[in-house]
Amino acid sequence: MIHSVDTDIVVLGAGPAGLAAACAALEAGARVLVLEREDRLGGILKQCIHDGFGLVRYHERLSGPEYALRDVDRLERLGAQVMQEAFVSSTRRVDNGFELTCVDRGGVFAVRALALILATGCRERTDRQVFVQGDRPAGIYTAGLAQYMINIQGVLPGRRAVILGSGDIGLIMARRMTLEGMDVVAAHEVKPEPSGLSRNIHQCLEDYGIPLELSSTVTAVHGTKRVERVTVASVDGSMRPIAGTEHDIPCDTLILSVGLIPENELAQSLGVPLDPATKGPFVDQTMHTLVDGIFSCGNAVHVNDLADYVSESGEHAGASAARYVARRRDAPVTGMATRTLVPVRVDQGFLYAVPQYIDTSTLTDAVMYFRARRTMPSGAVVTAEAGGKTCFKASYPLVRPPEMERFVIPHDTLMGALAARRDDEGLGLRMEAR
């Protein structure tokens, strides 16, 4: 008979999303168990030593570890049950919730819970997921791995680096490697515009005279044991390399900053439907997935640009999971009120919007996050409507796919519009050029 733990809510992952979710659920009176695979809490923030975190949430400019410590301290004050170096090996539904089989240093144990909060974050796209020809010697690192090596392990990944991609972590690492004495030759971005935040282009590349080559990519890696050089080429409008533009850059390191993908293996094993646009679970405005009792938050749902918004969604998930658990305890299984989900439908102007559903049976405001499909240099007007009633309208001076936007529809306005809708209609989001 294996050891078994009973709780209300299991939070999987103790990065910014999981920490906020656990705190919010505890504050709402639920019993919470946090499972974290690493030996320290904080997730990726532990290695994000640069500052700029917390401007939205605390109106302060904090480094990653400082930002994480605020939630870690809060969690400690609330007296959470936390298991570190703990993994989930299998999951199954039981009559009244979920049973997880877990492993930690003490061995195998079972956890029973009424609700799960998946705060599993995202993973970096690797060299296997981008089209680069040639050899695979040592010296090819994702930006996050290079960050771990420098900031946690205290070792340099190499001496002379080329960066492929212009994601924020790649830009941050261009500066970090320069400060640590490495020679950063250039960052090559296949798209015609950078994918990182403008401020990072300025303070990480321009400050140190590192060129950003747009519409340019690494087409091949050369080297036997270690990277010796890479071939770069300009690309056309369809991102295909243009013959005759190739040239070689001698270097011993190639850093990849080519995107992040929500991590949802566990969600998939539990049958949680995922949105192909975000690669994360479909959720309603309470961060409840389409599977009853399973919530998700943070970068597992969609990749955010700011930790502050990851935490925000964690707070929502934690509070709503606690409400769910309280209802579940009060009602026999069969007596649970079912959710009434209205789909959020976006037009072609959007890459995606989260949440994808509105649960009309709950009293919460809808915090909407979205990304534009294309850069709209003259700005965009976004409206939300149902049944011919506009419940939100705002003008944005500039929208770009790399920069996530956020707005809030108050509960009563939202319900007013949804009440007027026709049966098959959802909440419609429209984006028009200004």
What are the DSSP E strand ranges found in 340-404?
A: 341-346, 350-354, 357-359, 366-372, 380-386, 389-396
SS3 161: strand
Which of 3, 61, 247, 434 contacts other proteins by CB under 8 A? 61
Which of 159, 199, 240, 434 contacts other proteins by CB under 8 A? 199
Which of 37, 58, 65, 396 contacts other proteins by CB under 8 A? 65
Peptide bond into 355 cis (omega under 30): yes
Q: Note whether 66 binds other proteins by CB under 8 A.
A: yes
- How far apart CA 297 and CA 265 sit, in angstroms, is 15
Site string for other proteins, 206-235 (x = CB under 8 A): -x----------------------------
- Region from 29-37, 50-58, 212-220, 288-296 binding other proteins, contact rule CB under 8 A: 50-58
Q: If we measure between CA atoms, which residue out of 61, 62, 23, 70 comes closest to residue 42?
A: 70
Site string for other proteins, 375-414 (x = CB under 8 A): ----------------------------x-----------
- Region from 9-17, 197-205, 286-294, 348-356 binding other proteins, contact rule CB under 8 A: 197-205
Of the two residues 109 and 396, which places its CB atom closer to other proteins in the complex?
396
Backbone angles phi, psi at 255, to 5 degrees: -105, 130
Which of 133, 153, 268, 390 contacts other proteins by CB under 8 A? 153
Question: Of 280-319, which residues contact other proteins (CB under 8 A)?
Answer: 305-306
Structure tokens at 316: 């929502």
- How far apart CA 25 and CA 11 sit, in angstroms, is 10
Question: Of 102-131, which residues contact other proteins (CB under 8 A)?
Answer: none
Conformation bin of residue 379: beta by default, left when phi > 0, alpha when psi is -120 to 50: left
Cα 425 from chain centroid (whole Å): 29
Sites of contact with other proteins (CB under 8 A): 46, 49-52, 55, 61-66, 69, 150-154, 179-180, 197-199, 201-203, 207, 305-306, 403
